[in-house]
Amino acid sequence: MKLHRLLAQFLLPVFCCLAAAQARALTVFLVGDSTVANFDLPDPRQGWGQVIGPYFAADVTVKNYALSGRSSKSFLAEGAWAPVLEQIKPGDYVLIQFGHNDEKRDAERGTDPYSSYQECLSQYVDDTAKAGGSPILITSVARGSFRRNFSHGNYPDAMIALAKKKGIPYIDLNARSEALYHKLGGSVTYSLFIASIDGKDNTHFTPAGAQAIAKLVAQGIQELGIPLSEKVQLGQ
């Protein structure tokens, strides 16, 4: 019995520490398009979601479910949202960035900013909230034209309007990235895009570009003043 008591006295604090650590741990899920997605070598592209993990504390797990070529509509229709939704637990966050492919005019992906686009976004937001998670809407990162920046038409404004209507946090990554490009200037901005490799692609990022945008997202989260903000580490 003495041995049992000694073991209990030793193991109980260990179990309590493990339980406390598990309670504090949370997952950040990412859903979006190719500007967020993971890419494997030899593909030169990187999405910002691929490199945002180091900007969070060690008890935050990032799971990137973003897929190339998807819109808010097709991501749902293809069933890509379902495996994310079934994993969300109270305290988790879902970062949602769609818009690039919603602009496409094909039936599978195209949406209208103030109707079907907002309807699709609402499903992600409402599903996340029902699961006990917290949604964060992120406007589409700006393309680089090196003469002017494409603002994705009405899609960023439509997303922001929805976020305000539903009272949920959002990051205007479109505006933040445009401001960064103007600050850096044409030649440095050019190096952030695959266009610096193939001369054409002003949508997808080089590793340097992905890092720059990931930092903008992390800064945006930190400025939201939500519990996740306390998990952001910008000292790199």
CA atoms of 138 and 12, how far apart (whole Å): 43
Q: Is residue 233 part of a domain?
A: no
Residue 1 lies inside a defined structural domain of this protein: no
Cα-based distances in Å from 37 to 22, 112, 153, 163, 187: 27, 23, 22, 23, 25
Which span out of 4-13, 22-31, 121-130, 196-205 was modeled with the highest average pLDDT? 121-130
- For residue 54, tell me if it sits in a domain: yes
Q: What is the mean pLDDT of residues 143-153?
A: 68
Question: Looking up tokens 């109707």, which residue turns up?
Answer: 115
Peptide bond connecting 13 to the previous residue in cis, omega within 30 degrees of 0 = no
| Rounded Cα–Cα distance for residues 67 and 49 (Å) | 11
Q: Taking the model in full, what pTM does it have?
A: 0.88
Does 143 have pLDDT greater than 70?
Answer: yes
Confidence of residue 151 (pLDDT cuts 50, 70, 90): low
What angle in degrees, to the nearest 10, is found between the helix axes of 155-166 and 118-130? 40
CATH code for the domain of 110 = 3.40.50.1110
Note whether residue 3 is domain-resident: no
- Indicate the average pLDDT of the chain: 89
Task: List all residues 6 or more positions away from 213 whose beta carbon is below 8 Å from its beta carbon.
Answer: 35, 48, 141, 173, 177, 205
Q: Does 235 fall in a domain?
A: no
Q: In what order do the strands lie in the sheet with 26-32?
A: 60-64, 26-32, 93-97, 134-138, 170-171
Q: Which pLDDT band holds residue 4 (cuts at 50, 70, 90)?
A: low
Would residue 7 count as lying in a domain? no
Asked whether the predicted pLDDT for residue 225 surpasses 80, the reply is yes
Please report the pLDDT score of residue 23 as a whole number. Answer: 47
Query: Structurally, how many domains does the chain consist of?
Result: 1
How far is 136 from 224, CA to CA, in rounded Å? 10
Which domain does 32 fall in, by range? Answer: 26-228
Q: How far apart are CA 170 and CA 168, in angstroms?
A: 7
- pLDDT band at residue 130 using 50, 70 and 90 as cut-offs: very high
- 9 in a structural domain: no
Residue 13 belongs to a domain: no
Res. 8: pLDDT tops 70? no
Q: Which of these ranges, 48-52, 88-92, 102-106, has the smallest mean pLDDT?
A: 102-106
Question: What is the per-residue pLDDT across 56-85, written as a single tens digit (0 to 9) for each?
Answer: 999 999 999 999 999 999 999 999 999 999
Q: What is the pLDDT of residue 1?
A: 52
| pLDDT tops 70 at residue 128 | yes
